[in-house]
Amino acid sequence: MINSLLRFAGVYKTYEKYLIEQIKYGPMPEHIGIILDGNRRWATEKALNSTDGHWAGAKVGEEVLDWCLEYGIKTLTLYTFSTENFSRPSDEVNSILKIVEEETRKLGRDSRLHSQKVRVKAIGRTDLLPETLQDVFKRLEDETSMYDQHFLNLAIAYTGRAEIVDATKKIVEDVHQGNLSPQQIDEDTFHKYLYTAHLPNPNPDLVIRTSGEERLSGFLLWQSAYSELVFEDVYWPEFRKIDFLRAIRLYQRRHRRFGR
């Protein structure tokens, strides 16, 4: 058994090195968005409860940040919790948000944020979150607000439709107050009212979704108009570095025309 595990580990590392060599000289995505899907199904298949699945998924999120920093990817946006997720059983919702709170507190103690100058921001209708979680996000956002080398966005209480509605309301308010004229409204102006207005590149070059599902589920609907999409047939808690590298390899093999 031990020998088999060692052989598997050896094969895995060899394949990982092979993928690293393959992507080394290709264009790296500047902004990667990931839809974290499959925590509950992973837990069910292992006869665990859903909370175990969400804890396992949280650990993978920590690793993905490492990979992005390792390969110089400037922006990472993780779709962690949608507004629709509030309709799940209250026990599960409370457990997920407790996990997010604990992981965010842990992130605040992470030396990587300061050594790599990572700005952290929660994007979504964060006013729907428990006050304690709002406070944790606010503190972390304030501590990293001056950083601009890397950006980590946590899409929570988020859907793309809500983001577009909220942006439209702000635009209407500014027009009503005389701060903006209808003639000034174009795509660039609209972007400035979105949750991602703080980003140098708000549009993800690559969007990855785990679990085998092939849809965006409301993730960055405005921003992902020309994103390359990769759907991984693996649950989020089992997402490995080789899955990440293969997604980048797929991205590099595509010819991006942006409608031209």
Q: Is 37 a catalytic residue?
A: yes
Q: Is 85 a catalytic residue?
A: yes
C-alpha span between 166 and 162 (Å, rounded): 6
- 9: exposed, middle or buried (C-beta count within 10 Å: 0-12, 13-18, 19+)? exposed
User: What are residue 75's phi and psi, to 5 degrees?
Assistant: -130, 135
C-alpha span between 35 and 155 (Å, rounded): 10
C-alpha span between 147 and 156 (Å, rounded): 21
C-alpha span between 81 and 64 (Å, rounded): 17
Which residue among 49, 52, 66, 85 is the active-site one? Answer: 85
Structure tokens at 240: 């490995």
What are the DSSP E strand ranges found in the chain? 31-35, 75-82, 118-123, 150-158, 206-209, 228-231
* 60 within 8 A of 71, measured Cβ to Cβ: no
Cα distances from 120 to residues 127, 138, 207, 231, 235, in angstroms, run 17, 10, 19, 26, 25
Active site residues: 37, 85
